Amino acid sequence: MKQTTTINPTWCPGCGNFGILGSIKQSLNKLGLKPHQFVFVYDVGCSGNMADFVYSYGFHGLHGRALPVAAGIKLANHQLPVMAVIGDGGCYGEGLNHFITLARGNHDIVVLSHNNYLYSLTTGQMSPTSKKGTKTPSTPEGSLEETFNPLANAIINHATFVARGFAGNIPHLTNLLNQALNHKGFALLDVLQPCVTYNKDLTYDWYRKNIYDINQQGHDPKDKKKALELAYQTDKLPIGVFFQEQKPTYHQQVSNFSDTPLAQQDISNIDLSSLL
Amino acid sequence: MNTSFNWKITGAAGEGIKKAGLIFAKTCFKHGLSVHGYTEYPSLIRGGHNTFQIHASSADVVAPRFQLDVLIDIHGQAKDIHKAEITQQTVILADNLPLSDLVKQAGGSSKMKNMVTLGASCFLLGLSLDKLNQTLAEVFAKKGDEIIQANHKVTQAGYDFAQKNFKAKPPIKANGENKNKIFLTGNQALSYGAIAGGLKLYVAYPMTPATSILHTLAAKAKQANITVRHAEDEIGTANMAIGASFAGVRSMVATSGGGFSLMTEALGLAGITETPLVIVNVMRPGPASGMPTWSSQGDLLYVIHASQDEFPRIVLTPGDPQECFQLAKLAQNLAEKYQLPIIILSDKYLGESYFTIDKPASKHQNQRYGFAKTEDRQNDQPFPRYQDTDTGISLRSIPGQLGGIHLCNSYEHNQLGYATEDSAERIQQVNKRAKKIPQILKDPDFIKPVLYGPKTASQTLISWGSNKGVILQALPQLKSTNFIHFPSVWPFPAQAFQTLIQDSKKLITLECNSTAQLNQLIRQQTGLEIKNKLLKYDGRPFFPEEIVNQLS
């Protein structure tokens, strides 16, 4: 099955995006989704440049705005699986209000956040997830903001699936992606992604030494308090499914919800008699 | 017998001014009168000075009137504020109507003071108290019989007091019944028109004076089988509507100037991705927070040029609720036909004023435009979503469709949708998009300027949007004057306009902004300089009397 276009990826050699793309391909294969049965919404950034390489329905939107486009597609056609491919800058910076609100609404989309702790496409400025004091071209004396915590924010804002993966562990990441795609509701999969060009501290080796799998250690994703506690951990970085619960999705709760998606409803004859 | 009257109720926010005004307007409508309701209010919930005025007539009325027959002054400030509207014939109900005592005697609550004034007004204007009470029963149906009965006692007390103490005006010549008419605001008409045009998803963030579109559509969502979402902000709103539209659904968003500013990047997104999008901008004076509850036509040139770089768009400028309905429906169809953003420019005066119009047809047909059949295509070959064509319009496929796989791209792209920075491909796509403009101007469905009044006249008024009703109301009182109304301004219908002014002598533009934006646009697009301009930009609409005074 054709999964990629004829355009060669333009990412730097060794970029975490290659691993993430590998996981996406394996996951779609595993779930048996053909390229026309799936929609990607791409944000702007190195991750979003994947738009040209993946063979599938896609919408390459504005910086920070992938999530509302994805939620709009889902409301229009709830039979389609929809995934937003976005970076830490777009998701937790420019588009944070969308992230929080759509999580609270349990919009049935997967948010695949490529978290490399920097703005890399704009040549390596600090991002919301950069550690306080990070020296970058926009913060030569060190960044002044405390770090944004994506997982804790997702949990307290009622996301119903919250997980973290690592771009250097493709089988593990693929498994998380399968679970995120099978989940009905707002799913955040935050991916620790080395940026080999601009982030010399957070290398593949560093991550391998500092991450551990919480599910292997017996964490129960139903335990919300424990999930929040794990999200706050910084000495070591937990990966795996932090939290999951089943709740009605946004589209299932709208007043005119029907099995026939809005996009397939006939509008050729509209009768206003009962309205006027 | 009188053929028309002008009635105004005033008081502080929280004193039920708009409620009372609306009930009285509906009472007038029940008499078979043509009714126009105009409201002024500050942006606050308690205090300030609120007004609701009703121009009612046995002939058609399409505008407010300035001089008052009846003025109700509940909090004792109206006589100063509305000095210029008062004549020797104006009956003022203020201290001479003991509201608190009458309410108390009738066993009502202090909230019902406004209803006393309505009972008294029925007597003064020769209207039926029964019809007022009937309206009250309808409006308060959900509150139950006890409340309705209590209000009836209060209106009776007002009526009886007026009968004893005031002299009635000659009664209004009522037509009996308003058959096939409807009494509604421009925003309501626009909401219904969008539904008629196949709207399926409406997303909005509240902003005065566009909010009543959200309220109307949310209230009717179930009945109309549409989805309505109050989103996180205007940016999310516009992006969500674009996503839904990409997936094949007709969507719409509405806001005022500030929210439109936030949507501007998404406007460009709809432009370059060639995704249908309808944005309604119900204008208020600005910039920034401006005067939220007042009216303006200051955004004309802004919305024509909003967003970086160049792409085709359509700007529609409805003049009355009929056109709000018609153009909201048309916008849904044209946005899909031409795969571009459409802006509907309304304003507070049109959006929130009440008009009596012919009931729109209840049955509506919609055609679908531009969807490719792709089942026979190979699913492993990208669909040429941005194929260059003679008309600039390329076929679309929607996600889920076999054989239609493509990338909808906010980056400049090639014919397959993939990002490009190639010189020839960039020029090709810019030109492809631009080809839609002449197609739109040739399209008989695209609404063009209209001439009202005599075919030849010694002066021709030229205007756009909500001034239409006001000018039409003034026209019979102007000597040898006709009027050209622009229900659309972009793409600029230069040829249609030039044909209409062929025999014109003196041209005068009229608009509610300080720099004569339509006047500038006409000059830019036709080279014609029109020296005479009537401008108003204090947040109020023109009143017909002002136009008559200035042109006589």
CATH architecture, domain A16-264: 3-Layer(aba) Sandwich (3.40)
Q: Is residue B350 domain-shared with residue B301, that is, in the same domain?
A: yes
CA-based nearest distance A104→chain B, Å: 11
Separation of alpha carbons B414 and B293, rounded Å: 46
How many helices (H) and strands (E) chain B has is answered by 19, 21
pLDDT at residue B43, rounded to an integer: 87
Is B92 in a helix, a strand, or coil? Answer: strand
Is the separation of the CB atoms in A60 and B410 below 8 Å? yes
- How confident is the model at residue B386, as a pLDDT? 98
pLDDT at site B456: 94
Q: What is the pLDDT of residue B176?
A: 83
Query: What pLDDT shows up at residue B174?
Result: 85
Residue numbers in A near B182 (CB within 8 A): 276
Please tell me whether residues B51 and B133 are part of one structural domain: yes
The pLDDT tens digits of the residues spanning B520-534 come to: 999 999 999 999 999
Task: Tell me which residue of B148, B141, B84, B152 sits closest to B116, measured CA to CA.
Answer: B152
Between A58, A76, A77, which is nearest B408 by CB?
A: A58
Q: Quote the CA–CA distance of A126 and A132 in Å, as a whole number.
A: 9
Q: Check whether residue B490 and residue B541 sit in a common domain.
A: yes
Three-state SS for B72?
A: strand
Q: Do B363 and A269 touch (CB under 8 A)?
A: yes
Specify whether B338 is located in the same domain as B471.
no
B265: closest chain A residue by CA: A62
Contact at CB, A60 and B409, closer than 8 angstroms: yes
Sorted by where each begins, the domain ranges of chain A are 16-264
Spans in chain B with pLDDT lower than 70: none
Contact between residue A222 and residue B191 where contact means Cβ atoms under 8 Å apart: no
Residue B521 located in a structural domain: yes
The answer to whether position B282 is within a domain reads: yes
C-alpha dist (Å) from residue B348 to A43, A142, A242, B34, B299: 36, 49, 50, 21, 13
Q: Which residues contact A250 (CB under 8 A, 6 or more apart)?
A: A71, A74, A75, A102, A105, A106, A107, A108
Q: Are residues B470 and B384 in the same domain?
A: no
The reply to whether B293 and B251 lie within a common domain is: yes
Q: What is the pLDDT, as a whole number, of residue A121?
A: 86
**Can you tell me the distance from the alpha carbon of B487 to that of B497, in angstroms, rounded to the nearest whole number?**
12
Q: A73 to chain B: which residues are within 8 Å by CB?
A: 243-244, 246-247, 399
Classify A187 as helix, strand or coil: strand
- Burial of A276 per CB tally in 10 Å (0-12, 13-18, 19+): middle
- Of the three residues B310, B333, B358, the one that is the final residue of a domain is B358
Predicted local confidence at residue B294, as pLDDT: 98
- The per-residue pLDDT for B49 is 94
B470 and B419 both lie in a single domain: no
Residues B384 and B455 in one domain: no
**Is residue B309 assigned to a domain?**
yes
Residues of A in contact with B222 (CB under 8 A): 255-256
Q: Which pLDDT score, from 0 to 100, does residue B47 have? A: 84
Which structural domain, as residue segments, surrounds residue B34? 4-165
Q: What is the pLDDT of residue A19?
A: 95
**What is the per-residue pLDDT for B552?**
86
| Interchain proximity B223–A274, CB inside 8 Å | yes
- CB–CB contact A68 B364 (8 Å): no
Residue B171 is assigned to a structural domain of this protein: no
Q: Is residue B261 included in any domain, yes or no?
A: yes
Q: What pTM was estimated for this model as a whole?
A: 0.98
Q: How many CA atoms lie within 13 A of B409 on its CB side?
A: 23
Between CA B313 and CA B330 the distance in angstroms is 14
CA–CA gap between residue A246 and residue A217 (Å, rounded):
23
Same domain, B54 and B191: no
CATH number at residue B298: 3.40.50.970
- Candidates B220, B239, B368, B408, partner chain A, best to mutate (most A CBs within 10 A): B239
From B361's Cα to the closest Cα of chain A, the distance in A is 8
In this prediction, residue B448 carries a pLDDT of 96
Tell me the pLDDT of chain A averaged across its residues.
96
Structural domain contains residue B502: yes
Question: For residue range A172-183, what is the model confidence (pLDDT) as tens digits?
Answer: 999 999 999 999
10-residue stretch averages of pLDDT, chain A, 276 residues long: 93 95 97 96 96 97 98 98 97 98 98 93 92 95 97 98 97 98 98 93 95 97 98 97 98 93 97 94
Q: Does residue B246 lie in a domain region?
A: yes
Structure tokens at B67: 């001089």
For residue B309, give both structure tokens.
């770089």
Which of B165, B196, B212 is at the close of a domain? B165
